Structure 1
Amino acid sequence: MDVNLKNTPSEIDRLIDKYKSTVYGIAIARLGSKADADDVFQEVFLAAYRKGITVKDNDEEKFWLIRTTLNQCKKITLSSWRRRTVPLEERKEEVSFFRSREENDVFCAVTELPEKYRMVVYLYYFEEVSTDEIAEIMKVRSGTVRMQLTRAREMLKEKLKGGYFYE
C-alpha cells in the first residue's frame, strides 16, 4: 500500500472539517442510506490522505473530493454484492441532516428525484457549485446541467405542492 506521508493527522482533520458536509451530503443524496454514506465518507477521506490532498483556498481540492465521492457512490451502486441482494421493504430513513424542517423537507424531496437530477440539484443548491463547474465534474455539457436543473425544479415543485411550502 502506497501512502503519501505529507499529510499529517492534523492536516486530514482540517480537510474533514472543511468538506465533511459536502462529501456526506453528496453520498446520502446519491445513495439514500446512512450506512452507505458513512462508507463513502471513510473511503473518500482515506483516498485524500493517500493522495496528499490538503486544505487550500482554491476549488481544485473540492472538485477532486466531489468527483471521488461520486466515483465511490458509483462503486457501491454497481457492486456485485448489491446487485445480488434484494432490499427488504423498509421505510425511508428520516433525514435530519439540516437544522431547519424546511431544508430537511426539500432535501428529502431531492433524494426522491431520479438519479440524473438528484446530483445536479444537490451540487447547485446545497453546495453552490456553478453549472459550468458541475458540467466539468460530471463530464457533461453545461446545457445538459441547466436542462436537468429546469426539469428537476418542475418535479420538486410537484412533490412539494400542497406540502409544507405551499400551504
Structure 2
Amino acid sequence: MPDTLYTTLDSPIGPLLLAGDGVRLSRLGFPTGKGAVTPRPDWRRDDDAFPEVRAQLGAYFDGRSTRFDLALDPRGTPFQLRVWEALTAIPPGETISYGELARRIGRPNASRAVGAANGANPLPVIVPCHRVIGAGGALTGFGGGIATKRWLLALERGERLETGQLALL
C-alpha cells in the first residue's frame, strides 16, 4: 500500500487536514469536533500534495464554485459508499432529510443507518453531508459543528460570509 500523505489547507472554517496518496483524497478532517482528524504516526507530511484539491476547495470557499471534480478514494462499506454517492446528487445550498436520503437509495426504512453512514463520511464538504438535516428541518449533527454546517449552507446559497462570522452562527 502506498504511503499516506497529508497536508493542511487554511480555510474560512479552520485548517483542514487532507490525506490520501497525494492525488486521490481519502480523508478531509476538521480541526476540532467529532470530525477532527489528526495525522497518524505512519503518515508523511507533503505540502505539495493534492494541488487540485487545494484549487477546487479554494474556489468553493471563495464562492466561485459549488461543484467538485476530484480523484477521491473514500473507504467504507458498500452501504456507506452508496450513501456517500447519493450525497453528491444533492444540489448545492439545498437540504434533504435523512429519511429522504434513505428513500433515494431505495432503503426507506434505513434513515438511522443512513444517518450513521452520513456521520462516517471521510470527505465532508466535498461529499456534502452538511446538506442533510433532521426530519423537522433542524440542522443536526455535523463533524465540523453546527455553526460550520450553517456557514457552508449559507455559502452555497450565495450569502457572503466573512470568516469571523462563523463564530457568530
- The TM-score normalised by the length of structure 1 is 0.27
- The TM-score normalised by the length of structure 2 is 0.26
Q: Higher helix share goes to which structure? A: 1
Structure 1 or 2, whichever has the larger Rg, is: 1
Q: Higher strand share goes to which structure? A: 2
